[in-house]
Structure 1
Amino acid sequence: MSDQPGAGGPAPFDCGVRGLCPRCAAPTLFRSPVAFADRCRTCGLDFGAFNVGDGPAAFLTLGIGTIITILAIWLELAVSPPWWLHVLLWVPLTIVGVVGSLRIAKGMLIALEYKRGAHEGRIDPRP
């Protein structure tokens, strides 16, 4: 793998799903289910230099919340189970869905930032 962004490396989807470093493909991207490691233990790539932000969290929470709500309403109208069954079913599914998809989305975004060489914009000091 090359040191330069955009030169090979693992696919962004693999970075998200398997937690691979976008430079060396070592599984060192995450230190917890959704928190990035400070840097790659294998090649030293500084993950803190990338800015993924909180956009994926809001988007995924709304999307998954919509799907879970539709399924819960459908189940209620079709079977009318007790309220505690809804709690036992939908709360864990929501948590797993959001955390799992957030990990994939954040991993893909950091890989795409690395691959494209994205960085914060700078104001040109020239007049």
Structure 2
Amino acid sequence: MPQPDDAQFTDASGHRWPSLPPISTGLRGRCPRCGRGHIFNGFLTIRDHCEVCGLDYAFADPADGPAVFVQLFACVPGVIFILILAIAWDPPLWVYLVIGLPVVILSTVGPLRPIKGWLIASQFYFKAEEGRLAPPR
């Protein structure tokens, strides 16, 4: 856990921000340092910096993490729903398009932004950075 004297929680003006849990800030798309500014500039585009505390979001690199979580936790239940629909009732094709397609789209697109925000806030909170190889001893 971050220590109270961590420099990452102090902005350029010297204001000390409280350490906020990444789950509460990230899921709402809020700045991981101040909790007031926004992380996103659109649906999934990350801003350059926070408009409130000035935190530079250059550290933020969730890569494919949000897509992997969505595939594991949203796509699989969506596909299972469609398979159960096919096995139990064997409906015509239009039923899949009217019911199954919206279920899969909503269950995959909906969680992308909160999950991406949570991963960015977690990167900040836990000071995650690219791994480096240790020199040989």
TM class by smaller structure:
0.7 to 0.9
RMSD over aligned Cα, in angstroms?
A: 2.6
Aligned to 1:28: 38
Give the alignment partner of residue 78 of structure 1, picking from 81, 88, 92: 88
Shift of 1:3: 5.4
Tell me which protein shows more helix as a share of its residues: 1
Distance 1:89 1:123, change over 3 A: same
Aligned residue pairs total 125
CA distance in 2 between partners of 1:94 and 1:107 (Å):
21
Letter in 2 for 1:4: Q
Task: Give runs of aligned pairs for residues 84-95 of structure 1, distance below 5 A.
Answer: 84-95=94-105
CA distance in 2 between partners of 1:65 and 1:31 (Å):
26
- Give unpaired runs (5+ residues) of structure 1: none
CA distance in 2 between partners of 1:16 and 1:93 (Å):
24
Shift of 1:21: 0.4
Runs of 4+ in structure 1 deviating by more than 6 angstroms, as ranges, are none
Shift of 1:17: 2.3
Give the alignment partner of residue 4 of structure 1, picking from 1, 5, 8: 8
Q: Which moved more, 1:32-41 or 1:54-63?
A: 54-63
- Is 2:104 aligned against 1:100? no
SS in 2 for 1:4: helix
CA distance in 1 between partners of 2:85 and 2:132 (Å):
52
Shift of 1:33: 2.2
Aligned to 1:45: 55
Q: TM-score w.r.t. structure 1 length?
A: 0.78
Q: TM-score w.r.t. structure 2 length?
A: 0.74
Aligned to 2:24: 14
Identity %: 35
CA offset digits 1:40-72 (Å, max 9, x no partner): 111111113222111331342244222111111
CA distance in 1 between partners of 2:108 and 2:48 (Å):
23
CA distance in 2 between partners of 1:92 and 1:35 (Å):
24
